[in-house]
Amino acid sequence: MKTKVYVVDDHAMVRRGLAAMIGLEPDMEFIGEAADCAAATAELGKLRPNVVVVDISLRGNSGIELIKNIKVIDPAIRVVVLSVHDETTYALRALKAGAKAYVMKMDAGSKVIDAIRKVSKGQMYISEDVGSQMFNRLAQGQHEGDSPVAGLSDRELEVVNLIGAGYATREIAARLHMGIKTVETHRAHIKAKINLTSGTKLVQFCIRWVEESKRLSLAPAPMENILETMRVREA
């Protein structure tokens, strides 16, 4: 029986590339795709894939929230995270939320296929790059608490990213489907946890955080890796 795979990524080219790659595998079947959490949640209950490949950065709710939703829809569905984000902040959060694999988009496309195959058999998978980063942190005596956002909840981290991207409170409320007062509460909690004394300092921190996250995640375009893997397989 083929492993049924569903892909959630806000870049259409990435979805198409992954669909083409999965279609080349004799033991896999691509059954659908979505660009955001809401669309994916609506379909997953009907399609019941074996594996869902999820990007962390999605419109509306984040990939972390989608992973949690998937565990409610059907705990048997395995999740592979495919992300540009540095593992320091997101890998452990994704695994705690219920993901079984974490692959960086800078990795070759074949790593995604390996991850899908592993998790479909009930195993966990962490790409070499992610595993190496985790090992280096341990070797240097670093731990999760070293990150300034380590104490934030997943939702609070979403708010940090949206503030840093320039969204106002009302816009954040609309994107995350919550009330304005709830966003303001999150802002207050973030300031308290990171020891920020004003709204201005909060905005400055969020902007720096987003800029640093982008710098750390600079890598070859994911489609380049996917297409290169396809060329190798077809050669």
Q: What is the pLDDT of residues 194-206, one digit of tens each?
A: 999 999 999 999 9
> Does residue 161 register a pLDDT over 60?
yes
Same structural domain, 158 and 91: no
> Does residue 169 register a pLDDT over 90?
yes
Same structural domain, 106 and 174: no
Q: How far is 161 from 164, CA to CA, in rounded Å?
A: 5
Structurally, the chain folds into a number of domains equal to 2
> What is the pLDDT of the chain when averaged over all its residues?
82
pLDDT of residue 208: 86
* Residue-range definition of the domain harbouring residue 200: 146-216
Q: What is the pTM of this model?
A: 0.72
Dihedral of the alpha carbons of 8, 10, 16, 17, in degrees to the nearest 10: -90
Same structural domain, 69 and 180: no
Please check whether residue 89 is in contact with residue 77, taking contact to mean a CB–CB distance below 8 angstroms: no
Instruction: Compute the average pLDDT of residues 58-76.
Output: 85
Best CA proximity match to 57, nearest among 148, 150, 161, 170: 161
Same structural domain, 78 and 130: yes
Please check whether residue 46 is in contact with residue 72, taking contact to mean a CB–CB distance below 8 angstroms: no
Residue in the block written with tokens 């660009």: 35
**By mean pLDDT, which of 42-46, 115-119, 229-233 is the weakest?**
229-233
Give whole-number Cα distances, 29 to 1, 26, 32, 57, 122, in Å: 10, 8, 9, 24, 18
- Domain of residue 230, CATH code: 3.40.50.2300
Same structural domain, 25 and 119: yes
pLDDT of residue 145: 46
Same structural domain, 124 and 22: yes
Same structural domain, 94 and 164: no
Write the pLDDT tens digit of every residue in 143-154.
454 567 878 888
If you write DSSP's letter for every residue of 151-189 in order, what string do you get?
TS-HHHHHHHHHHHTT--HHHHHHHHT--HHHHHHHHHH
Same structural domain, 66 and 128: yes
Same structural domain, 132 and 173: no
Where helices occur in the chain by DSSP H, the ranges are: 12-23, 37-47, 63-73, 87-97, 109-120, 128-139, 154-164, 169-176, 180-194, 199-216, 222-234
pLDDT of residue 220: 45
Same structural domain, 67 and 129: yes
Same structural domain, 10 and 90: yes
